Amino acid sequence: MIPTTALATASMAAAAEPSPVLALANTPVLWICALGVFLVVAVQSVIYMKAARKAAPSVGMTPQELRTSFRTGAIAAVGPSLAVVLVAIALLALFGTPATLVRIGLIGSVSFETAAASIAAGTTGAELGGPTYTPQVFAIVFFAMSMGGAMWMLATLILTPLLQRGGHKLEKVNPALMTVVPAAALLGAFISLGLAEVPKSPVHVITLLTSAAVMGLCLVLARVPGLRWLREWGLGIAILVGLTAAYLAHSAGLGPVG
């Protein structure tokens, strides 16, 4: 896959002199769009929180529990967010700041965006970050990445109401469906994603096991009064230790080849 070479080339080139691509990529219009996207996400969250606050009494949920959920969610997101940020900055040299903010802020992971970008660049005969990477190519690539994200959202917009109706019908058949199903689905998703990492390299396995072990440790220790905060920060700590182990193992040459 392209990421390493293209990103490295682009980073070095960008350090050398400002490229015409980056000049275009930093147009005010793009900055406004980036701001718009961030605002929309913020507005959605505000509306959702208001709705949750309104519904809470009817399900026996206290305002304190609402606050705890929000805070816990925020803290749990710190580890993954820092990891995402670290990888996202590598895209700055290729796509400029506003485009990167939009593409990573909105649906779309770094790996999807770079894969989509390299596929799109390939159709124009250009190479991301290489000498053939012109502002024109950037526009085409940016368009393709954005359309990719748009498709996800379109699918969600179309499928969710349909699935919701289906869910309501199933619920009438047997309410237990709605409690067993989500847990089973969650476990299935995480375990599948986790096990899929195993064949990739010994370092992947080491990382998986290390992070699992640290998380387990944090959860056990969190039972000690005074160490409750470990329940929220455990994820971040586990990710950090896991990545450190990964760094050491990778530097020792155990990583994937090529």
Partner 1 sequence: MTATLTGPQTTAGMGEFERTTSRWGRLTMIAGLVFSLAGPLYLVFFADLGVTATQLFTAFAAVAGTFFVIWLVEPLTYFPILGSASMYQAFMIGNISNKLLPAALIAQSSIGAKPGTPRGSLAAVMAICGAAAVHLVSLFVFVGLLGTWLISVIPPDVTEVVRIYVLPSVMGAVIIQAIVSLKQVRATIVAFVVAVLVLFVLVPLVPSLAMVATAIVVLTTLVIGWFVRKREAGAGRDATPEVP
Q: Which residues 81-120 are close enough to bind partner 1 by CB under 8 A?
A: 81-90, 92-93, 97-102, 104-112, 115-116, 119-120
Of the candidates 5, 18, 132, 191, which one interacts with partner 1 according to CB under 8 A? 191
Tell me the one-letter amino acid at 209. L
> Least CB distance from residue 169 to partner 1, whole Å?
12
Question: Contact, 128 vs 156, CB < 8 A?
Answer: no
CA separation (Å) from 47 to 42, 50, 51, 161, 255?
9, 5, 6, 19, 45
* Residues 36-65, interacting with partner 1 (CB under 8 A): 36-38, 40-45, 47-49, 51-52, 54-61, 65
- The nearest distance, CB 252 to partner 1, in angstroms, is 12
Q: Are 238 and 211 in contact (CB under 8 A)?
A: yes
* Min dist. Cβ of residue 113 to partner 1 (A): 10
CB of 224 to partner 1, least distance (A): 16
b/e burial code for range 141-168 (CB count within 10 A of at least 16 → b): bbebbbebbeeeeeeeeeeeeeeeeeee
Are the C-beta atoms of residues 78 and 3 closer than 8 Å to each other?
Answer: no
Let me know: does 82 contact 103? Beta carbons within 8 Å. Answer: no
**Residues in region 205-244 near partner 1 by CB under 8 A:** 205, 207-216, 219, 231-232, 234-235, 238-239, 242-243
Shortest Å distance, C-beta 208 to partner 1: 4
Q: Which of 2, 127, 202, 255 binds partner 1 (CB under 8 A)?
A: 255
By CB under 8 A, what part of segment 161-190 binds partner 1? 161, 163-164, 167, 171-172, 174-190
Site for partner 1 in 9-38 (CB under 8 A): 11, 15, 24, 27, 29-30, 33-34, 36-38
Q: How far is the CB of 163 from partner 1 (least distance, A)?
A: 5
**Footprint of partner 1 on 127-156 (CB under 8 A):** 135-136, 138-156
How many residues bind partner 1, per CB under 8 A? 165
- Cα 1 to Cα 257: distance, rounded to the nearest angstrom: 12
Nearer to partner 1, 19 or 246 (CB): 246
CA dihedral 173, 174, 180, 182 (to 10 degrees): 40
Residue 132, helix vs strand vs coil: coil
Residues contacting 206, CB < 8 A, separation 6+:
245, 246, 249, 254
Which of 19, 235 has the CB closer to partner 1? 235
